[in-house]
């Protein structure tokens, strides 16, 4: 008597094999990924979230003594907390270099040049920031000229 051949052990296939992806399917998949991502990047840029995130990452304790970093930090703050409706490019920050470190004044003015609307012959002062670099605090006279109070959140 002859024995029946024993079947070779193979693992059972749990899924079916996919058909090859066509060029049209690849294009559609990529477009469906790129369009929402581009819309999200545009939205994040318009909302100012990237500016705020970059400011949080780059502004440190030592930045209080660097005029450029301080101006960029407060440009982000005043445009995102509602102190002005102007874009950051339309604001001019004027530092008084003779002030002591614990009472530095920065005049925030509205520019009217380039893409900034308004009469080109004027440079209105919006408010003043009073910066205590040593104590790392800031006060403003926004909506109350001459009377300084903490910055709004």
Q: What digits encode the pLDDT tens for the residues 16-65? A: 788 888 999 999 999 999 999 999 988 887 777 777 887 788 888 888 88
- What local confidence, expressed as pLDDT, does residue 122 receive? 84
- What local confidence, expressed as pLDDT, does residue 5 receive? 66
* pLDDT tens profile 83-129: 888 888 889 999 888 888 778 899 999 988 888 888 888 888 999 99
Nearest partner of 141 among 126, 153, 122, judged by Cα:
126
Other C-beta atoms within 10 Å of 1: how many?
A: 2
CA–CA separation, 145 vs 140, rounded Å? 9
- What local confidence, expressed as pLDDT, does residue 26 receive? 94
User: E-strand spans in 23-133?
Assistant: 91-95, 104-110, 125-132
- What local confidence, expressed as pLDDT, does residue 59 receive? 82
Q: Kindly give the pairing relationship between strand 104-110 and strand 137-140.
A: unpaired
- What local confidence, expressed as pLDDT, does residue 8 receive? 62
State the DSSP code for 12.
P
Which strand ranges, in their side-by-side order, compose the sheet holding 104-110?
91-95, 104-110, 125-132, 137-140, 149-150
Nearest partner of 78 among 141, 11, 7, judged by Cα:
141
More confident residue, 137 or 97: 137
For residues 72 and 55, is the Cβ–Cβ distance under 8 A?
Answer: yes
């Amino acid at each position: 008597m002859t024995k029946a051949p024993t079947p070779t052990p193979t693992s059972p296939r749990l899924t079916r094999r996919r058909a090859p992806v066509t060029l049209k399917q690849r294009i559609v998949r990529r477009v469906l990924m790129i369009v929402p991502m581009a819309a999200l990047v545009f939205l994040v840029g318009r909302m100012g979230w990237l500016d705020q995130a970059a400011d949080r990452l780059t502004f440190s304790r030592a930045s209080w003594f660097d005029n450029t970093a301080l101006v960029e930090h407060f440009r982000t703050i005043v445009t995102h907390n509602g102190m002005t409706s102007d874009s950051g490019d339309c604001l001019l920050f004027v530092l008084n270099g003779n002030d002591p470190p614990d009472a530095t004044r920065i005049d925030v003015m509205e520019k009217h040049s380039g893409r900034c609307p308004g009469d080109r012959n004027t440079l209105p002062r919006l408010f003043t920031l009073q910066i205590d670099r040593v104590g790392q605090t800031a006060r403003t006279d926004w909506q109350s000229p001459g009377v300084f109070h903490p910055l709004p959140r």
